[in-house]
Structure 1
Amino acid sequence: MQDLPKAHLHLHFTGSMRVGTVRELAATHGIRLPDALVSEWPPRLAKATDERGWFRFQRLYDAARACVRSEEDMRRIVREAAADDVAEGSRWLELQVDPTSYAPFVGGITPALEIVLDEARKVSASGEIGVAVVVAASRMRHPLEARTLARLAAHHAGDEAGDVVGFGLSNDERRGAVADFAPAFAIARRAGLALVPHGGELLGAQSVMETLEHLDPDRIGHGVRSVEDPQVLDAVAEAGVTLEVCPGSNVALGVYAAAGEVPLRRIIEAGVPVALGADDPLLFGSRLVAQYAAARDLGLDDAELARLARGSLEGSRMPSALRRAALADVDAWLDTPA
């Protein structure tokens, strides 16, 4: 499935790191990593649908993020994320970043974002993949900070590789009220950015409905638990919202006990567009192709896998010429004898 052309729309900046990279950065900066990132990788994560499980996940994520302490560290992450996606057949990557996490080491949120954007332009110049950026606010912080990030994202908005193409909302779904972030999303909407908040992984279908009602998203990160309420699932389909389904994340965080329980087929059969994503390979131990392999294990055939690839391309903000070429290559992949 490496040969199947696709876009990658759900990949977090810190979570995209290779485990070898985070270990090297830790050694360079004199930081001691938890055993789960050294000798026990990939880590066994407790069930994140309860507070203790999420705390363990967040602690490991914060430990990895603390190793990113310079401009070159940030540029390396972009380069390696792009190279890993190229190896897996991605034609387009929308890398999600919260610049406040790295601002203290590079002089502020604006330089932090501009470093990522500049490196995205450089790696895109190879022609192997286009890399764009989604600026993500955190639900753990005050909604006013989200507005600041939305204005920063709007200032760098564009529709090419190396631009900000979307605005998201991530972190623990149980924190903050979705409606409080609506003004930030209104800023992003006026700038023409794709609206791509998380919802419906740690919380159930109601969180998906609230996201639809208050943020009017183009895509929802995860959204799998919309299947728990047929009316919500129908509302997602009617709105034409793409769900960024990440089976590896769902299982690692204990939302589902096994990949076979991820309701991917139910979502597809409801007419909802789907783009598979790897979310945080550093902590979940699986990248994008593994998500397609999980879909295959759920019984999806080549035509259905091609449909998922098309969903990722059509749900992206990649330039139209690149999208047309990639969609044609999906058709060619499907027509090629196994």
Structure 2
Amino acid sequence: MTSHLKKVELHCHLEGAAPPALTLAQARKYNIDVSEYLKDGTYVWHDFASFLECYDKISEVYKSAEDYALLTETYLAELADVGTIYSELIVSPDHGKRIGLGADAYIDGVCEGIRRARETSGIEARLIVTGERHFGPDSVVGAAEYAAKAQKPLITGFNLAGEERMGRVADYARAFDIARDIGLGLTIHAGEVCGAFSVADALDVVRPARIGHGVRAIEDSALVSRLADLGTVLEVCPGSNIALKVFPDFASHPLRKLKEAGVRVTISSDDPPFFHTSLKREYDLAASAFGFSDAEIDQLTRTGIEAAFVDEETRQALLARI
């Protein structure tokens, strides 16, 4: 349906993009039992908390820099095969530390995967370092400090993800100050599990260029107008929102309403195999479930490039490819 259209993705968690077949091969390689979390080629979870648990367990089968190079290259190749020209991958230095690999080796592995994918298909990719709010403010500050000192050119953004119901945005403000001071693009998960107030908090405290999800802003018409006036870009992931029951069905999902209200929106897949989706499916849904024309979908893609955390030369080169 949208195979002929170029695609861009701004919101995808790297480990959350792990293909089940690759995860199973990795589990066998390390003799790790993932049968509780991966059955018949499908990741198993039943609510947001169990999704996070499943995500963390699945991530344990990727242990070395080469594992991360392979994971990254595999996912980017999948994207390139459906016409994707640019991807931003959400990564966690803390995860590299927790698995005993170390943040530098973890990031270096991901960067190697990006290099291989670019060499093979021409796809561009960048990294968004994220702090995980369910590990507390100090952990999130540590992630920002790592991004500040890492000197990894592919790290171009900073994010806050994880359990949205833990703490308020102000608890993590220092991390965003660190990231802002070194020139990283700022985005933050809000308005997904929690309501419109979390989007307002993000705007007040962080002043981000983008918000991950942000869809529950629709509950507050004044907030929708504020987003439109500010030009804040929402990284909308419809398939994820339905899978997590943020909205009961696509008919009630506010993607089109937000766009018609003047909010700048893009479409992404979030954690695609966990939510039985893919970036191609998200683009197809834009046409089938939301009724966007090819021209309107191209505009969503352009918005993604305009909001991408890249240098201007790369941005213009990407725009020229649409």
How does the TM-score come out when normalised to structure 1?
0.89
After superposition, the Cα gap between the structure-2 partners of 1:307 and 1:208, relative to the gap in structure 1 and judged at 3 Å, is same
Cα distance change of structure 1 residues 157 and 181 upon mapping to structure 2, 3 Å threshold: farther
Which residue of structure 1 lines up, in the alignment, with residue 276 of structure 2? 285
Q: Which amino acid aligns with 1:31?
A: I
Name the residue aligned to 2:136.
142
Q: How far off is 1:120 after superposition?
A: 2.3
Q: Distance in 1 between matches of 2:36 and 2:170?
A: 39
Q: CA deviation at 1:222?
A: 0.3
Q: Is the 8 A contact 2:91 2:127 kept in 1?
A: yes
Given that residues 65 and 108 in structure 2 are in contact (C-alpha distance below 8 angstroms), is that contact kept between their aligned partners in structure 1? no
Query: Does residue 307 of the first structure (1) align with residue 308 of the second (2)?
Result: no
Task: Quote the offset at 1:325 in angstroms.
Answer: 3.6
- What is the count of residue pairs matched by the alignment? 320
Residue 230 in 1 paired to residue 221 in 2? yes
Shift of 1:173: 0.6
Measured against aligned partners, the alpha-carbon deviations of 1:67-106 in whole angstroms (never above 9, x if no partner) come to 1122221111111121011112211111101121132445
Q: Cα–Cα, structure 1 residues 116 and 11, in superposed 2: closer, same or farther, change >3 Å?
A: same
Equivalent position of 1:248 in the other structure: 239
Is 2:149 aligned against 1:155? yes
Question: How far did 1:131 drift?
Answer: 1.6
Q: CA deviation at 1:220?
A: 0.5
Please tell me whether residue 89 in structure 1 is matched to residue 83 in structure 2: yes
The CA deviation string for residues 25-71 of structure 1, in whole angstroms up to 9 with x for no partner, is 1111111223552226254x53xxxxxx2222122112211111222
SS at match of 1:196: strand
Cα deviation, 1:153-179, whole Å, max 9, x if unaligned, reads: 123467xxx510100000111012210
- 1:54-69 alignment, distance < 5 Å: 54-69=48-63
8 Å Cα contact 2:8/2:86 also seen in 1: yes
Please provide the CA RMSD for this pair: 1.8
Distance in structure 2 (CA, Å) of the matches to 1:29 and 1:253: 30
Whole-Å separation in 2 of the counterparts to 1:246 and 1:328: 25
Q: Counterpart of 2:12?
A: 11
Aligned match of 1:32? 33
> Mapping of 1:1-338 within 5 angstroms?
1-35=2-36, 37-39=38-40, 41=42, 43=44, 45-46=45-46, 53-126=47-120, 128-156=122-150, 163-297=154-288, 298-330=290-322
**CA 1:75–1:106: 2 relative to 1, 3 Å:** farther
Aligned to 1:334: none
CA contact (8 A) 2:71 2:113 kept: no
Give yes or no for contact 1:92–1:318 (8 Å, CA) kept in 2: no
Query: Which stretch shifts more, 82-91 or 109-118?
Result: 109-118
Q: Given the superposition, is the C-alpha separation of residues 322 and 109 from structure 1 closer, same or farther in structure 2, using an over 3 Å criterion?
A: closer
CA, structure 1 residues 93+78, in 2 after alignment: closer, same or farther (shift >3 Å)?
same
Unaligned 5+ segments in structure 2 are none
Which sits farther off after the overlay, 196-205 or 98-107? 98-107
Contact 1:23–1:38 (CA<8 Å) still a contact in 2? no
Question: What is the CA–CA distance in structure 2 between the aligned matches of 1:210 and 1:87, rounded to whole Å?
Answer: 38
**Long gaps (5+) in structure 1:** 47-52, 331-338
